[in-house]
A and B are shown apart, each in its own frame.
Chain A
């Protein structure tokens, strides 16, 4: 292989004139983190609401939950981002569409919301499964004590269900981070985008993507460790993961 390795490239100035190539990658990393965090918050909020709807006895509620989940999980993420970014503004009344297209940071908001909604369907399914795994008597006990349905979920069902699904939720958090890289296709210059830009300017493709890989790994190790600590601090003595 006739390749000119150059690991010093990271400390050479990048062509934008603002700092080194490493600075470029770091700014991409920060944007990835920002996008992933916002997407994860959206995924948790909407996933929780839809997960609860799916677990309610009401037919209407579970139908809404079913339709939501199937809509967001049966379309490729890439197609969804294109829909929100390119198609939605055209479908809206002219003024609204124009406003959307001219939003500052449109790729960022589209990516965070798009990835967030996509992931929320997965969170919803897991939460619904977690709630369904609880003994039926738990809900009955909460009800019999006079707690309303909302209070039953808030104080009894959700705290236990979330503890049960913490390990798979960790995977979903990691998926959310990785999925933000799809946003490169709508012009979000996050970590993958910056690595590609670096490769185009410097021709050091291996160095660029090695660095990007290490950075993705590093964020994910932080997330895995953090979630492990959270699991441990929430463990119930004598119950599930507790000791």
Chain B
């Protein structure tokens, strides 16, 4: 589904953020990407739907080359859902309007069709009563669930999550993770940048560990948590799992 091969990316002439990254995500697979801050995990996931350009290598998404100038990027992006660390709901639109905007303007669905789909997804994430509120009137956890629903409204073939729980209070993390776990169990293809190792051990098939722009470890979940090969990953795990 997602094929990342030999991707190199520089900011400016010297600072290399991604070094020869190669990995893939198969259909229905859940891959967790972890690593210390500044390791390039968010950058890598943003390269997948071309929110960030990269200079070398290639990424193929459902058979379409992302970094081909001829690719219709808006059309491609519409097929991949993305959830951000800071939710990024549109503050001037009501919750239900947030869910309808791209359905109508990008997919060309009728207003009624978009509304029906939006209502169904709000029900699914348990926020039907908030349909007519504005994002700033909801808690962080609720906003992130809306953001997931907004992405799902586009009937995506895969979902990208960029630290979806990092900006949330501890109490609200689980309500967001619950939605993501359900999604994983339904067979959604997911690439998730997160520090939530509990989530990783519960639903991930594979774990990718990045450090300084490189993919240091790309292993099955059991192998990664059981015995990471690299010293760097061992250190990282011992630190985050020690508390």
Contact = CB atoms under 8 A, between A and B. Distances in A.
Contacts of B78: 145-146
Interface of A: 135, 137-138, 140-148, 151, 155-156, 159-160, 163, 236-239, 242
Contact of B74 (A140, A146, A236, A237): A146
B44 interface: no
Interface string B130-144: 000111110000000
Given A140-B88, A145-B77, A145-B150, A155 B51 contact: no
B91 A146 contact: no
Interface string B70-98: 00001111111010111011111000000
A77 B74 CA distance: 43
B88 A135 contact: yes
Contacts of A151: 105-106
Given A137-B84, A155-B101, A155-B105, A143 B92 contact: no
A145 B106 contact: yes
Given A145-B77, A159-B92, A242 B136 contact: yes
Nearest to A163: B92
A238 B134 contact: yes
Contacts of B76: 146
Nearest to B85: A137
Contacts of A141: 82, 84, 88-90
Contact of B77 (A137, A144, A160): A144
A164 to B, nearest CB: 10
A84 to B, nearest CB: 38
A135 B135 CA distance: 15
Contacts, number: 83
Nearest to B104: A155
Given A146-B154, A156-B90, 8 more contacts: A140-B46, A141-B88, A144-B49, A145-B106, A146-B76, A146-B79, A148-B74, A236-B134
B88 A146 contact: no
Nearest to A157: B90
Kindly state the interface size class of chain B when it binds its partner. Answer: 20 to 34
Contacts of B51: 140, 143-144
A90 to B, nearest CB: 48
B105 A237 contact: no
Closest 7 CB pairs between A and B? A146-B78, A238-B136, A141-B88, A145-B102, A144-B82, A146-B106, A137-B88
B126 to A, nearest CB: 20
A155 B106 CA distance: 12
18 contacts: A140-B84, A141-B88, A141-B90, A143-B51, A144-B49, A144-B80, A145-B78, A146-B76, A146-B78, A146-B154, A147-B105, A147-B106, A148-B74, A160-B90, A160-B92, A237-B137, A238-B134, A238-B137
Contact of B134 (A140, A146, A159, A239): A239
Given A140-B51, A141-B90, A236 B101 contact: no
B106 A239 contact: no
A168 to B, nearest CB: 18
Contacts of B75: 146
B77 A143 contact: yes
B137 A135 contact: no
Given A236-B134, A237-B136, A238-B137, A145 B101 contact: yes
A156 B91 CA distance: 9
A148 B74 CA distance: 6
A156 B98 CA distance: 10
A135 B89 CA distance: 11
Contacts of B91: 160, 236, 239
A143 B152 CA distance: 15
A230 to B, nearest CB: 14
A242 B88 CA distance: 18
A160 B135 CA distance: 13
Given A140-B84, A236-B91, A236-B92, A147 B136 contact: no
Nearest to B50: A143
Contacts of B154: 145-146
B65 to A, nearest CB: 18
B210 to A, nearest CB: 20
Nearest to A146: B78
B204 to A, nearest CB: 22
B61 to A, nearest CB: 13
Nearest to B78: A146
- Indicate the member of B84, B105, B137 with the most A CB atoms within 10 Å: B105
A144 B137 CA distance: 24
